[in-house]
Amino acid sequence: MAERMGAFEGEPGSTREAIMQATYDALAEHGYADLTIQRIGDEFEKSKSLLYHHYDSKDDLLIDFLSFMLEQMAEDIPFEEQPDAYQQLVFAFDHVFENLLTPDRLDFIGAMTELRAQAAHDGSFREQFTANETFIRSRIVEIIQDGIEEKTFCEVDPQRVADTLLTILDGAFVRYTTIEDVDIDVVHEELNEYIRLRLLADGYDAAD
């Protein structure tokens, strides 16, 4: 079994959480193409009939899984503990690179890349991925706006910078899961350098 992300560790507190945990394990093991309700059921300790009671199809379950992941991300990344907008932004991307884009989670991240590819021709997946990215983008925009107000960041267009940061991040996920010999640490370092050079106001010491 692939190492689980934080949201899927420990004992689930509800039937939905148990289904989401089973879905995570099955995705990591089989990928999207070979995933079936039966294989999710094999990872599910309760009655498999519950899966069919709650979900009409594999894709219906996976769309809820994407929604669940967004809910967990919103709860699990403690932005507010960071002292200013720069530290919040760096902390958020550090979390992604250090906890998701890692060799022990490559199978699951690869499955998520497969899953995202479905959005190219499936409206339901496109709608859910759009909702997830809209939330993430709005959070990045909010942090940048806060940084401008507190004089941590210089005057920029928060929407444009957020789009650029997400494009770099999306590219990191695709390249890490689809080609060999990607030095993801270099990508992480360069993204942080972009944040430093593009956003930091004069006089801010990023080493503090």
Look up the CATH number of the domain holding residue 150. 1.10.357.10
Domain that holds residue 40: 1-58
**Domain shared by 100 and 155, yes or no:** yes
**Residues 121 and 173 grouped into a single domain:** yes
Burial tier of 140 (Cβ tally within 10 Å: 0-12, 13-18, 19+): buried
Do 54 and 104 lie in one domain? The reply is: no
Q: Would residue 66 count as lying in a domain?
A: no
Single out the residue in 58, 88, 103 at which a domain terminates. Answer: 58
- pLDDT tens readout for residues 161-204: 999 999 999 999 999 999 998 999 999 999 999 999 999 999 88
**What is the torsion angle, in degrees rounded to the nearest 10, for the CA atoms of residue 80, residue 11, residue 112 and residue 101?**
50
Residues 158, 113 within the same domain: yes
Asked, for residue 13, whether it belongs to a domain, the answer is yes
Residue 206 has what pLDDT?
72
- Residue-wise pLDDT for 28-57, tens only, equals 999 999 999 999 999 988 878 888 888 888
Domains of the chain: total = 2
My answer on whether 43 and 115 are in the same domain is no
